[in-house]
């Protein structure tokens, strides 16, 4: 099975005022994908927007940053992030990310179910 990036399904998340916050480009949009991979996407966070802090129960999440700059909340510890960096949030812990730059903050996000 092969698809181009343009063929992948996308999901946009909007702010309450209707402005764009985040776009997911789903990389695992194939039938029969491993059910343990709940999410595999390229996330694009708009400048000034965020993925709010949240906790993962029964699953873990990894981010690999492709472009842009931001801050990553690792259970209350704020760390600057940029292209080439990887983060990991194990089950039972929390994280979030804010785009602090002037361009899209793009990263691969993978959620694996325990």
Check: CB of residue 61 under 8 Å from CB of residue 113.
no
Measured CA angle at 106 (ends 71, 5), to 5 deg = 165
Q: Is residue 32 part of a domain?
A: yes
Q: Is residue 69 part of a domain?
A: no
Q: Is residue 6 part of a domain?
A: no
pLDDT digits (tens, 9 = 90+) for 32-72: 677 788 889 999 999 999 999 999 999 999 999 999 999 99
Q: At 8, is the pLDDT very low, low, confident or very high (cuts 50, 70, 90)?
A: confident
Between CA 104 and CA 44 the distance in angstroms is: 6
pLDDT above 70 coverage of the chain, percent: 97
Q: Which domain holds residue 36?
A: 11-60+83-113
Q: Whole-prediction pTM value? A: 0.89
- Average pLDDT over the chain reads 93
Residue 103 main-chain phi, psi, to 5 deg: -125, 170
pLDDT digits (tens, 9 = 90+) for 74-106: 999 999 999 999 999 999 999 999 999 999 999
- What length is written for the chain? 114
- pLDDT value at residue 7: 87
- pLDDT value at residue 28: 81
Between CA 76 and CA 96 the distance in angstroms is: 9
Q: Is residue 70 part of a domain?
A: no
Q: Is residue 78 part of a domain?
A: no
Domains in the chain: how many in total?
1
- pLDDT value at residue 80: 98
CATH assignment of the domain containing 98: 2.60.120.10
Q: Is residue 105 part of a domain?
A: yes
């Amino acid at each position: 099975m092969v698809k181009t990036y343009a063929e992948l399904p996308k999901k946009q998340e909007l702010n309450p005022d209707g402005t764009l916050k985040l776009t997911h480009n789903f990389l695992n949009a194939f039938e029969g994908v491993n059910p343990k991979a709940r999410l595999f996407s390229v996330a694009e966070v708009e400048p000034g927007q965020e993925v709010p802090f949240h906790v993962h129960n029964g699953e873990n999440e990894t981010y690999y940053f492709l472009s842009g700059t931001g801050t990553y909340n690792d259970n209350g510890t704020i760390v600057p992030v940029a292209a080439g960096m990887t983060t990991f949030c194990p089950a039972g812990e929390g994280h979030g990310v804010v785009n602090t730059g002037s361009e899209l903050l793009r990263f691969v996000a993978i959620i694996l179910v325990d």
